[in-house]
Chains A and B, each alone.
Chain A
Amino acid sequence: MHSDDGITKKAEPPRKRSIANDLAGKQQEISVTEFFEKNKHILGFDSRSKALLMGIKEAVDNSLDACEEAGILPDISVSVERTEEDEEYRITIEDNGPGIVHHMMPNVFGRLLFGSRFHAQRQSRGQQGIGISATVMYGNITTGKSARVMSKIEEEDTAWVMDITVDTKKNRPNVNNDNPFIWPDKVHGTRIEYYIRGRYIKGKQSVFEYLKNTAIVNPHAELTYTDPEGKRYLFARATSRLPPKSKEVKPHIHGLEIGDMMRLARDSKQKTLRNFLKNDFSRISDRVANDILEISVLNGEMKTSSLTRDNCRDLVNAVSMVKIMAPPTDCLSPIGEDLIKKGLKHVLEGHRPEYYAPPVTRAPRVANGNAFVIEAGIVYGGELKSEGQVTILRFANRVPLLYQQGACVITKAVESIDWRNYGLEQRGGKGIPYGPAIILVHIASTKVPFTSEGKEAVANIEEIGKEISLALRLCARSLKGHLNKKERKKKTRAKFDVVQQILPEIAQKSATMLGRPVPSLDSTITKIMNVVWVEPFSTTGKKGLRNLRYNIYNYTTTPKSFMLHSVLPKSCLNETIMSDILLEVTEEGKTTWKVEALPPAACLELEFQLDGELSDVFEESDIFVSGLNPAMIMGADQLPGDWGIKGMDISESDSYVDEEEEEIEEEILDDDD
């Protein structure tokens, strides 16, 4: 390229080298912060309306996590105010969490990927530590204003306040006005105030909806929300039971990929392969370690650091052939069946749903080395909107997922069930069903496999999808049971109307017309009904108090003896449960009453109270009978066989005649005047 001979041709510019040099001059480290600044959508800030919600979501998730870790019942308030500037909002989130020590405040709020949870195998809402600092950064960028953070920890008398911006070049916080102050009436807690350009919307993906759904799965939290119009909403605490604290656990070896295995081996402090297996993973006993070593044909005493890629591949293959106990579940904090119902009831009661299918919490499973638990619930009927598709409420580690419904494994699982078998409409037996229902699914996991950093949809992983489907089917079966029961009830009601209203009117009228005394109807009524009818009534008194009454009619022609059974929330029972006919209450609240020789046409009233937090969880129609031919019971079901308590055997052989001889329908042709 360089001529020394003086014959200088028109000099070729040393183009290539020059470009490479130019580039080298420009190439520099792009900080994570800068990368995210340019790719805001990865964090979920891809639209103005979404940006506004995402910031709040990050802050609230952090507050809930912090409170849970500290064993504090969360009180969180959120407010959204319009400023004078177009599309600019001031957002304030305040909690009663443990607070943040002064010197950590800048990093927590002003540095991306700074957090304590990224490496931990435990269930928490925030996982990467991107959230709140990304919110501060997004606020900075869109408004040019810094975020103001206040925090107080219990051990100190003063709180600290500071203004924080994110230096996107260095991924470091810039702090101004760092001052101590006295925070009146605040024992501990954190408050963040920031400005953001965004769009405030209502409806499915609104702040209100997010907080409402958060309240459903966090019944221990109290949330207050003030919207831009100044309207205040309170989602009151439904239970003072804190979710059990989740623990950190080692990863589970099942489902790890070769690369994961290589990374863990490289980072391991264990000297030998055997110890690596035994100590760095959960649920690996000596025997299991031996099995893995044997199948992979690797020496347990080889150095962990010398594991090659091929060794790791052999390990992964061997692991898939060994049966290993599921990961410990105390790293997970499922909401629990009672509290899901409680949360749903608390938030949805305004819609007066007619049925809450008993929520299901499945046993923990493993996917890709992470433990997960699926929980599901279905709410049906009442004033829930009946036109259009059902509402799907998706949650991951107690955080509502509002975006990308279609891409989520939860939606896919819902769509794959033929809901027509369970009493919901569905076009062609596929897709989201239609009808007045809400389907709730919660995935709790040490690491939820989201499809993106925005944490909006859970990846379609087969094991997870299968578990969701199983949980939903259980709920759906309960729903179907309810719908069947409702249908039966309607029929019973019809007969009841006949004997309670129409027949007396017939007797009265015919007697008046003929000038004779009104005949007694007892015998006719028992002949028409030929059942024992159990009719539940429930009224709600002061907070947590419920009055329950069962009217038990013997509408048969002979005296009847039988038992009544129900599962009552034990913690809610008081002395009113005592009665002459009460037989026993077991440890689990299984309660049995014995009715002896109830005469024909007689009615027995059974009354008691439930008092306590779980009183509203009890479904009054969940009453069962034993000792009677099931065909002769109305308003209650026969005692299921799996209760493990002894019901009463059917003593008399009631000759049951099928009463459903329909009247021959008369077909009238419209050929007359």
Chain B
Amino acid sequence: MTTTERQEKAVRELLQIAESVYDQLDHGDIPQMNLSLRSKKNIEFDPRKNVWTYGGLTANRSAKTIKGATLMLRTLHMVDFIRDMIDNKHSSTLREMYYISEGWGNGKFHSQDESNLLAEDLEIVSRCMREDFKLRPEEDGARVIGDLTIIETDRKGKRKTINCRDDVGDSGYSIPYNVDKEKIEMKSAGADFIIAIETGGMFDRLVENGFDEQSNALLVHLKGQPARSTRRFMKRLNEEMGLPVVVFTDGDPWSFRIFASIAYGAIKTAHISDYLATPSAEYVGITSSDILNYDLPSDKLSDQDVAALKSELNDPRFNDEFWRSEIEAMLQMGKKAEQQALAKYGLDFVTDTYLPEKLSQMGILF
């Protein structure tokens, strides 16, 4: 489908929401909307696509409560706004939409989170992507450095061939918010694998130490929880160029969730997991055993850390032997460690010793 076709479909789907609400009111009923329940209680493994998606549980949004009614009103305003943007070939950021909602009467957003969540709700209802609605996130995707050549169609419609190692500065190539095939074409990859790194400090360390060339790796900076475009970018490289993905994060419960959203799909976006997740991604570390084996400097787990770990124990995505033992081990020792704790053994330790050791265990490096 072309962009225009997808957008027409999006408008049609969205208008059906308005029509359904109208018809229910016209019949004298209490209007309702049914949405997939977006909670870890309702994610299931889809063996065909190899990712976690929403199950059959739905949440009923009824206009009977203030919350439900407000949401419904908001949805109508948003649908109208999206239709308007598509008609006028505009696009807006989620943050702009938050401000535009000032004029929506009782439907206005009270926080940006609300507008983000609703945008995702509409994706679920309309089975279209947020990008089709011409809504973009506030920040772009992350940085990439390594031997990868892409062709990007820029804002003036000009096709530019870019090598992500040779044609960019030290801060790398920046992944745009839209990484659709029409925007970016993957041309060739000299790199053997992708290493996705949580923190900027570690990314820069690997760049400075020349890890991309030394190990023929494509370095991707996640900036904490990776943006949708970053995840989509990695998935395309994995699928189209056959590059394995490994994830290198801090050793704490939140980092485990970063990995889960890359490999299994995030709970919030489980409706498009097959579009964003890379099921074959693997976790390098920092693992609980790394903290012990490498005797890394560590911090005590906070109450929130402990609660997050416990919550992960009943998250179906973590329900395998590797993660159970990692989580339980961390709970048991009560400690967490940062990636950069590896600097205890010198700045080169991570690239000379730690990663080569770990990656060869995983069969990525030899």
Interface residues in chain A, defined as those with a beta carbon under 8 Å from any beta carbon in chain B: 494-495, 497-498, 501-503, 505-507, 509-511, 513-514, 516, 519-524, 527-528, 659, 663-664, 666-673
Contacts and interface: CB of A to CB of B under 8 A. Distances in A.
A671 B257 contact: yes
Interface string B57-79: 10111111111111011001101
Contact of B29 (A494, A511, A516, A527): A527
Contacts of B67: 663
Given A510-B21, A672-B267, A524 B29 contact: yes
Contacts of A663: 59-62, 65, 67-68
B70 A510 contact: no
A670 to B, nearest CB: 8
B117 interface: yes
Nearest to A493: B66
Contact of A498 (B18, B60, B69, B139): B69
Contacts of B228: 672-673
A528 B227 contact: no
11 contacts: A498-B65, A498-B69, A502-B73, A502-B106, A510-B18, A510-B19, A524-B28, A666-B38, A670-B225, A671-B225, A672-B267
Given A502-B107, A505-B73, 8 more contacts: A501-B106, A506-B21, A509-B18, A509-B73, A527-B30, A669-B267, A671-B261, A673-B227
A667 B39 contact: yes
Contact of B15 (A502, A513, A668, A670): A513
Nearest to A522: B28
A300 to B, nearest CB: 79
Contacts of B60: 663-664
B76 A510 contact: yes
A562 B338 CA distance: 70
Nearest to A497: B66
Contact of B64 (A498, A501, A505, A506): A498
B226 interface: yes
Nearest to A667: B39
Interface string B214-237: 000000000001111000000000
Nearest to A507: B25
Interface string B10-43: 0000010011011011101111000001111100
Given A668-B268, A669-B257, A671-B225, A519 B25 contact: yes
A503 B37 contact: no
Given A524-B30, A668-B39, A671-B268, A510 B22 contact: yes
Contacts of A520: 28
Given A498-B65, A510-B21, A671 B266 contact: yes
B105 interface: yes
Contact of A664 (B26, B59, B137): B59
Contact of B106 (A505, A514, A671): A505
Contact of A519 (B22, B30, B68): B22
A671 to B, nearest CB: 4
B63 A502 contact: yes
Contacts of B105: 505
A673 B224 CA distance: 9
The 6 closest A-B pairs by CB, nearest first: A523-B28, A672-B268, A510-B22, A671-B257, A502-B69, A672-B266
A504 to B, nearest CB: 10
Query: Chain B interface: which size bin?
Result: 35 or more
Contacts of B24: 524
B80 interface: yes
B38 A514 contact: no
Contacts of A511: 22
Nearest to A671: B257
B63 A666 contact: no
Central interface residue in A523, A668, A673, by most chain B CB within 10 Å: A673
B197 interface: no
Contacts of A528: 30, 63-64
A494 B66 contact: yes
A340 to B, nearest CB: 39
Contacts of B59: 663-664, 666
A370 B76 CA distance: 74
A521 B27 CA distance: 9
A519 B257 contact: no
Given A501-B106, A671-B267, A659 B31 contact: no
Contacts of B266: 669, 671-672
A336 B39 CA distance: 60
B97 to A, nearest CB: 16
B65 A524 contact: no
Contacts of B28: 520, 522-524, 527
Nearest to A669: B267
Given A527-B30, A671-B258, A509 B76 contact: yes
A663 B269 CA distance: 21
Contacts of B22: 507, 510-511, 514, 516, 519
B80 A509 contact: yes
Contact of A524 (B31, B73, B268): B31
A101 B269 CA distance: 94
B260 interface: yes
A513 to B, nearest CB: 5
B31 A666 contact: no
Nearest to B229: A673
Nearest to B58: A664
A494 B41 CA distance: 29
Which of B18, B107, B228 counts the most chain A CB atoms within 10 A? B18
Contacts of A502: 63, 66, 69-70, 73, 106-107
B225 A673 contact: yes
B352 to A, nearest CB: 32
A477 B30 CA distance: 38
A667 B37 CA distance: 9
A521 B29 CA distance: 9
Contacts of A501: 106
Task: Tell me which of A509, A511, A521, A524 has the highest count of chain B C-beta atoms within 10 A of its own C-beta.
Answer: A509
A521 B25 contact: yes
Interface string B260-272: 1100001111000
B25 A513 contact: no
Interface string B299-320: 0000000000001000100000
A14 to B, nearest CB: 87
Contact of A514 (B19, B31, B257, B258): B19
B320 to A, nearest CB: 18
B261 A672 contact: yes
A669 B225 CA distance: 12
A509 B117 contact: no
Nearest to B66: A494
A494 B106 CA distance: 13
Nearest to A517: B26
B21 A664 contact: no
A184 to B, nearest CB: 67
Contacts of A506: 21, 25, 31, 63, 69, 72-73, 76
B30 A513 contact: no
A660 B179 CA distance: 45
Contacts of A510: 18-19, 21-22, 25, 76
A505 to B, nearest CB: 5
B25 A666 contact: no
Contacts of B83: 513
A494 B70 CA distance: 11
B176 to A, nearest CB: 14
A663 to B, nearest CB: 6
Contacts of A516: 22
A523 to B, nearest CB: 3
A506 B239 CA distance: 44
A592 to B, nearest CB: 34
Nearest to B227: A673
A673 B18 CA distance: 28
Most A C-beta atoms less than 10 A away, residue of B15, B29, B106, B257: B106
Nearest to B83: A513
Nearest to A510: B22
Contacts of B31: 506, 524
